[in-house]
């Protein structure tokens, strides 16, 4: 039997995490001591490790709840059901990656559009692009500002 702090330490989480999982119905102590301490069995520890592994690969608490219910009643579920959950999660991750790549490319274009020089931001191509509905098109040439060389402002294509 583990007390809450012992189980938390063994699984490298805080005791508050176990309380949080208990509050959300993912984990509950098998019993309480006479003095009211939560007591967990090895089976509870395995359940916690399952939860932590599922969380580590990106499942939400509600998805973990569903996975736990499948795990408890495996004979009434098919592998296809579990694979379907994973495939949906994978598609969501791929969609987020595509979105982040789009953000990265857009930010790179904005960065490339700005000379980054010491001049006033009155004609900053980044601000101009964000203030209007234009696409930033960059050219790769530079001009000299004293000892430091800066990329010229890119042209804004409207």
Residue 134 pLDDT class (50, 70, 90 cuts): low
pLDDT of amino acid 137: 52
**CA dihedral over 76, 78, 79, 80, signed as positive or negative:** negative
Does residue 133 register a pLDDT over 70? yes
pLDDT, tens only, 61-105: 999 999 999 999 999 999 999 999 999 999 999 999 999 999 999
pLDDT of amino acid 125: 86
Q: Where are the beta strands (DSSP E) in the chain?
A: 2-3, 31-32, 38-40, 135-137, 142-145, 148-151, 155-157
Cα–Cα distance for residue pair 106/69, rounded to 1 Å: 42
pLDDT, tens only, 24-61: 999 988 888 888 888 999 999 999 999 999 999 999 99
88 in helix, strand or coil?
A: helix
């Amino acid at each position: 039997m583990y007390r809450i702090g012992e189980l938390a330490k063994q699984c490298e989480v805080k005791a508050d995490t176990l309380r949080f999982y208990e509050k959300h119905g993912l984990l509950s102590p098998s019993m309480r001591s006479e003095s009211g301490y939560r007591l967990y069995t090895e089976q509870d520890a395995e359940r916690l490790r399952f939860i932590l592994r599922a969380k580590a690969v990106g499942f939400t608490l509600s998805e973990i709840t569903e996975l736990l219910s499948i795990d408890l009643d495996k004979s009434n579920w098919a592998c296809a059901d579990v694979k379907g959950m994973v495939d949906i999660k994978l598609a969501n991750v791929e969609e987020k990656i595509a979105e982040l790549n789009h953000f990265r490319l857009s930010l790179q274009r904005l960065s490339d559009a700005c000379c980054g020089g010491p001049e006033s931001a009155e004609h900053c191509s980044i601000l101009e692009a964000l203030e209007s509905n234009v696409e930033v098109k960059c050219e790769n040439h530079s001009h000299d500002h004293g000892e430091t060389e800066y990329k010229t402002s890119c042209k804004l294509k409207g």
